[in-house]
Chains A and B, each alone.
Chain A
Amino acid sequence: MKQTVLFVVAFGALVSAQRGAGPPQTPKAAAPIDLTGYWVSIVSEDWRYRMVTPAKGDYQGVPMTPEATKIADAWNPEADTAAGNQCRSYGAPAIMRVPGRVHITWDGDRAFKLEADAGTQTRNLRFDQPASKAEPSWQGDSLAEWEMQNAGRGAAAGAPRRGSLKVTTTNLKAGYLRKNGVPYSEDAKLTEYFDVVRERSGDELLVVTSVVDDPKYLRQPFMLSTQFKKQADAKGWDPTPCSSSW
């Protein structure tokens, strides 16, 4: 009996060891999903806050603090432009909601480069902590990690790997969640989950679930989910400068 138990444990360990053998993979080699390519926004939600510039004082849905409301009510796009702050509504907590296309590529084996044509913005999603802290910026510092889903027992041999990309962004320059001055502060933290799903037609969708935590300007975390459709090529890619008013 003892021998049988030993054999069971040894056999299990052997199978496990074979699966986990080899040097650790780079994030690129370990990627459970393919995020690379051109993705176009599908604007089926929050249309009047995204496709046009909402009026001053229109901040429905955002759980703002009284201090944030004061800032939004004082929104002055001309002053932002004059001060060189026309990219305030293109920072990391807002950029994925701005209608446009994003182009995602690997930047080496340990980082993604995410370019947005709206506002001509670039996000660097790094799998390693930066060596030194940079100045706060519109896109901040983004730390990426894979959240792996195991195909599990009973899955066919060679079953596809699955998972999501989790991105945590801090060190942000204070900006706007919406074009009309709804603010986030320099202490805001953005957490995002990038998931890829397939439609029945075979088309791929990118779903970005985002949570903005900002105790200064938000009474509770601000949660959104934003959809993109994958394109075969760069069709429609149209880099445009930031605008404070459109």
Chain B
Amino acid sequence: MFIKLVGPPATAVMVVAIGLAVAAPAMAQTELAGSWAARNHEDALERNGGPYAVDYAGLPLNDEARVRALSYSGDVLSVIEHQCGGWPPFYLAQGPFGMKIWNETDPVSGTTIAWKIGAWEDRAGTTIWMDGRPHPSKNAAHERGGFTTGEWQGTTLVAYTTHIKAGSIRRNGAPSSDVATMTTHFIRHGDLLTVLEIIEDPIYLTEPEIISKNFQLDANAVSPVGPPCVAGYEGVGEGKVPHYLPGTNPSIDELTKFYGIPREATLGGAETMYPEFRKKIKDRFVRPEKCTQNCGAPPPAPPVPPGNQGR
């Protein structure tokens, strides 16, 4: 590993090397290690409590995906075999939690072999291999967290994930297949970290799904693991698989009822991602007079002055 340098020619090589080292800046990488608090100001309902059962607006689903999504019942998560299945790695940007990031280094050179993102109860941890190893054969096992490699593009870490188990691209059953891939950009600006996910799925998406989430460096430690998942009886009997047959999903008009959003928007498709779609639905959108469902928590009450507590 070490090269022994002796004599005048070696001195010259070393001189040139040191000279270049003095002149060149450090490698253009960014420190990502730390605890990052989630800032769920966008898609707040989806990232916290979860989306409406039939809300695929802004998702570039194809027809097959839509049929599968409409057959999904959230009760399937109570089937004992599914309780600890967890969500695909897309959930990093779709879930409520912050994240703990750390790196594993070569003990001799100090170079980063892998970046690690801690797990949650319902999301597998992520290992982003930085040592140039190839992705496995397409026939290799597909894991909940997938297989991820990374490279630096300037100070942005770009990770590429394959070998993801089939699951959901949104937490309401909009499906993702086992050939879906995800390219993730970790873009840091000071104490802000923007995580951009580009999800491609030739089985269920007509174009990439692109979402992002903001994190902020936090002095409070984020756990690298969630609580253990312990499966138990949740009311779904053995042999039952909750689902909806075609045309029977009872939630299909929830967004229309609560927010006046036309059904064709709630069913998603690539056109719902683009500005032109507004013109298409303008005449059919009816804005409710007042928000009645999931309108946002009111701000906390002002603190009680000292001496008044408990009265």
Which residues of A are at the interface with B, using a C-beta cutoff of 8 A?
Answer: 4, 7-9, 11-16, 19, 40-48, 51-66, 68-69, 99-101, 118, 147, 149-155, 162-164, 166, 193, 195, 197, 199-201, 205, 207, 209, 211, 219, 222-227, 236, 238, 245-246
Contact = CB atoms under 8 A, between A and B. Distances in A.
Contacts of A227: 196, 210-212
B296 A225 contact: no
Contacts of A225: 42, 194, 196, 212-214
A4 B5 CA distance: 15
Given A40-B274, A118-B275, A152-B27, A48 B57 contact: yes
8 contacts: A13-B22, A44-B210, A45-B58, A58-B291, A152-B29, A153-B26, A201-B208, A224-B42
B304 interface: no
A18 B248 CA distance: 72
Interface string B14-38: 0110111111111111000000000
Given A11-B16, A48-B57, A55-B259, A166 B28 contact: no
Contacts of B53: none
B44 A55 contact: no
Contacts of A12: 18-23
Contact of A52 (B39, B185, B281, B295): B281
B259 A52 contact: yes
Given A43-B58, A195-B187, A209 B192 contact: yes
Contacts of A60: 44-45, 294-297
B255 to A, nearest CB: 7
Contacts of B154: 149-151, 162-163
Given A209-B189, A223-B216, A225-B214, A199 B23 contact: no
Contact of A199 (B15, B28, B183): B183
Nearest to B259: A48
A215 B255 CA distance: 33
B278 interface: yes
A19 B22 CA distance: 13
Contacts of A193: 187, 189, 192, 194
Report the contact-size class of chain B (Cβ under 8 Å from the partner): 35 or more
B73 interface: no
Nearest to A33: B154
Given A42-B273, A150-B25, A246-B282, A8 B19 contact: yes
B156 A197 contact: yes
Contacts of A48: 57, 255, 259, 261
B288 interface: yes
B299 A205 contact: no
B153 to A, nearest CB: 7
Contacts of B244: none
A7 B15 contact: yes
Interface of A is mostly: mixed
A11 B295 contact: no
A207 B291 CA distance: 30
Given A58-B259, A154-B27, A223-B192, 16 more contacts: A8-B19, A11-B16, A40-B275, A45-B58, A51-B265, A52-B265, A52-B287, A53-B285, A59-B296, A61-B43, A153-B25, A205-B198, A222-B41, A223-B41, A224-B42, A224-B214
Report which residue of B154, B261, B265 has the largest number of chain A beta carbons within 10 angstroms of its beta carbon: B154
Contacts of A164: 187, 189
A199 B289 contact: no
B275 A56 contact: no
Contacts of A43: 58, 272-275
Given A48-B255, A225-B214, A58 B295 contact: yes
B28 A149 contact: yes
Contact of B296 (A62, A151, A199, A226): A62
B109 to A, nearest CB: 13
Given A4-B11, A149-B155, A57 B214 contact: no
Contacts of B296: 58-62
Nearest to A229: B210
Contacts of B253: none
A57 B290 CA distance: 6
Given A12-B20, A60-B44, A223 B260 contact: no
Contacts of B210: 42, 44, 205, 227
Contacts of B25: 150, 152-153
B209 interface: yes
- The list of the 3 closest CB pairs from A to B, nearest first, reads A12-B22, A61-B44, A162-B154
B295 A100 contact: no
Interface in B192-234: 192, 194, 196, 198, 200, 208-214, 216
Nearest to B181: A200
A101 B73 CA distance: 37
Interface string B250-294: 000001000111000100000011111110011001011111101
A9 B20 CA distance: 10
